[in-house]
Amino acid sequence: MEYIAENYDVAVIGAGHAGTEAALASARLGCATVIFTINMDAVGNLPCNPSIGGTAKGHLVREVDALGGEMGRAADDTFIQSRMLNRGKGPAVHSLRAQIDRRKYSARIKHALELQPHLDLKQAEIIEIRPSKGEFRWQLVTKMGAVYSAKCVIIATGTYLGGRIYVGDVAFEGGPDGMFAATCLGKCLRELGLPCRRFKTGTPARIHRASIDFSHLEEQAGDEEITPFSYDTLENPDFPLENKVVCHVTWTNERTKQIILDNIHRSPLYSGKIDGIGPRYCPSIEDKIVRFSEKERHQLFIEPCGLDTEEMYLQGASSSLPEDVQIALYRSIPGLEHVKIMRTAYAIEYDCIDPLALRATLECKDFPGLYGAGQFNGSSGYEEAAAQGIVAGINAALSVLGREQVIFPRSGSYIGTLIDDLVTKGVADPYRMMTSRSEYRLILRQDNADERLMPLGHAIGLVSDERYRQFLTRTEFKKQELKRVRDTAIPASEEVNSLLVSHETTPINNPVRLIELLKRPELNYQALEPVDSTRPDIPPYIFEQVEVEIKYEGYIKRQQAMIDEANRLEAKKLPADMDYSAITGLRLEAIEKLGKIRPESIGQASRISGVSPADISVLLIWLAKNSHQSHASDSER
């Protein structure tokens, strides 16, 4: 029997990485917020990989932090090993990745929710949401019969929504880590009219440390100089940055391959039992063996799950094969010959939405006040979830407060790239962020996330005045250092030329400005330190940023020109109720795609598959002819 409970400005369904960032952002903006979780002990859980960051994902964590989110701070508080990936490549793809103590991280996030003013954390399964009249546009019904009202609702259900676990022939309803699935809400959303679909993901076995023969494994240590995720940590010289564990590497072999091929018919992926579409860029071990049959071996990483547990994670070895096959294939791998499985690998199938049904604000086009975030939107990964969560939380709160919602352009952040890809191009499988997805990646580096997003975070109200003052100090240091290297001349001398020759670069006969020496590929700040007498005492990361901008100045200018042109097209807004079939000159495919996606600008329209440059020209001509009418309509609204 139902009973009326409480009213909230914003209600968040799900307390994973998307839900927690959404709830914190909403509450920090002063909105009365509630976040629901099926199990209070699963708040902020890391049900798959015990790590945060990675290629392009580290960029997202930095951007979430720059906006005022929690993930970066929590990761710094609970990391046990930190590594900067891709150091041998260009700065655009340098990405921070940290092994996390998963239980401490979950506790850290849960406590942040508990301490946050304007935020209530409740253990309850939401079985129904329904539109309501008046100020509180939505009602949420729990399994216990409580009815909560909210002005805005954010769905961040992760893999719980209609969750179904697969291990060989065994299949049952369930969420990650042995939790209950949300079995009723998915049906409700379909009946409401949301375009839902089924996706799939998986996770490897967890094994006991004592059963591993480490003498056969390659050791992988963390960085000596540790870079934190959060700018707060960066500004705190007393914060302890210390690696506490090492990881290890091993490889599959021909025996592993044969075991999998001999039992491939027992995999639900290949027997037809799983209908959901799995992640293209994070395949199971059986999928790797079949799809890349020419490869002799596949790399696996053995990673600790925390300091107070003996569980080890087998990155690269997710599987849905039967338990007996898992034991055999894992024991065929060097170092794991006597391994004991503590948690069996499994695949999980779940409900999510077609993200083409969302605006760039992450609000549903046809359901005002209803937002999606995280895996519910068709993405994969903790970091992608957190990025969408903070955006959904910001925009839901801004909507409640009567302020204009924020759209993140793809030219300004990986967050913008992620959301634009989802809502403009849609997804055929779980979306994973990669640096190659951004055409502006040299400008969207992780080291300058604060420059790109912290002013916005401050304007929105998530970045404190004190934190913003620290940001302004950093930018002033950088500005002054750029001026110094342009103005400082290094005289020709025996000492200078000896240094230049030792680094296999041409000696000088006349004074040369410091910036010209830094542009040489053989030289950097560290190499020039002995002859750079006016170098100021500022944080080392400032020098790193300046050096990148100097060495890649030409490329950065070209990308900035591309961004300026993209912004020009983004500024040309399209009416939401536009009848594309009435525009002469548009092709039928373009009419269909434009009508379905309803792009908000010419820029977004240009990125829709099936909309050609000729179609964009037609739209530009139509806008030029009808701009007066469009402006009049806007002012009336």
Confidence (pLDDT) at 628 = 58
Burial, 90: exposed, middle or buried (Cβ in 10 Å; 0-12, 13-18, 19+)? middle
Per-residue pLDDT reduced to its tens digit, 603-620: 999 999 899 999 999 999
Q: Mapping DSSP to helix (H, G, I), strand (E, B) and coil, where does residue 98 land?
A: strand
Identity at 513, one-letter amino acid code? R
H-helix segments, 226-369:
231-234, 254-262, 268-271, 285-291, 323-331
DSSP conformation class of 246? -
Confidence (pLDDT) at 189 = 97
Give the other-Cβ count within 10 Å of 557's Cβ. 9
Closest CA to 213 of 302, 300, 307: 302
- Using CA atoms, how far apart are residues 570 and 433, in angstroms rounded to an integer? 22
Mean pLDDT of 371-381: 97
Q: Would you say residue 633 has pLDDT above 60?
A: no
Residue 635 CB partners (closer than 8 Å, separation 6+): none
Mean pLDDT of 33-52: 96
User: In CATH, what class is 475-559?
Assistant: mainly alpha
DSSP per position, 120-180: EEEE--EEEEEE-SSSS-EEEEETT-EEEEEEEEEE--TT-BT-EEEETTEEEE--GGGPP
- Quick check: 62 and 96 in contact, CB under 8 A? yes
Per-residue pLDDT reduced to its tens digit, 141-165: 999 999 999 999 999 999 999 999 9
Domain 206-347 belongs in CATH node 2.40.30.260: yes
Mean pLDDT of 574-594: 92
Q: Would you say residue 125 has pLDDT above 70?
A: yes
Per-residue pLDDT reduced to its tens digit, 543-568: 999 999 999 999 999 999 999 999 99
Confidence (pLDDT) at 636 = 42
43-47, 171-175, 181-185, 282-286: range with lowest mean pLDDT: 282-286
Confidence (pLDDT) at 525 = 95
Confidence (pLDDT) at 274 = 79
Instruction: Using a cut of 0.85, tell me whether the model's pTM lies above it.
Output: yes
Q: Would you say residue 330 has pLDDT above 60?
A: yes
Share of the chain above pLDDT 70, in %: 98
- Quick check: 27 and 117 in contact, CB under 8 A? yes
Confidence (pLDDT) at 225 = 93
Share of the chain above pLDDT 90, in %: 91
Confidence bin at 634 (pLDDT 50/70/90): very low
- Quick check: 322 and 169 in contact, CB under 8 A? yes
- Using CA atoms, how far apart are residues 162 and 174, in angstroms rounded to an integer? 8
Per-residue pLDDT reduced to its tens digit, 390-447: 999 999 999 999 999 999 999 999 999 999 999 999 999 999 999 999 999 999 999 9
Closest CA to 370 of 355, 390, 351, 392: 392
Q: Would you say residue 631 has pLDDT above 50?
A: no
**Inter-residue long-range contacts of 222-225, CB under 8 Å, 24+ positions, other chains counted:** 222/81, 222/82, 222/83, 222/99, 222/246, 223/82, 223/83, 223/84
- Using CA atoms, how far apart are residues 326 and 319, in angstroms rounded to an integer? 8
**Where do the domains of the chain lie?**
3-200+350-460, 206-347, 475-559, 572-636
Q: Would you say residue 629 has pLDDT above 70?
A: no
Mean pLDDT of 528-538: 94
Burial, 232: exposed, middle or buried (Cβ in 10 Å; 0-12, 13-18, 19+)? middle
Question: Within its chain, how far is the Cα of 320 from the centroid?
Answer: 25
H/E run at residue 387? helix 382-400
Instruction: Please give the CATH superfamily to which domain 3-200+350-460 belongs.
Output: FAD/NAD(P)-binding domain (3.50.50.60)
Per-residue pLDDT reduced to its tens digit, 246-298: 999 999 999 999 999 999 999 998 877 877 787 776 788 998 999 888 999 99
CATH code of domain 572-636:
1.10.150.570
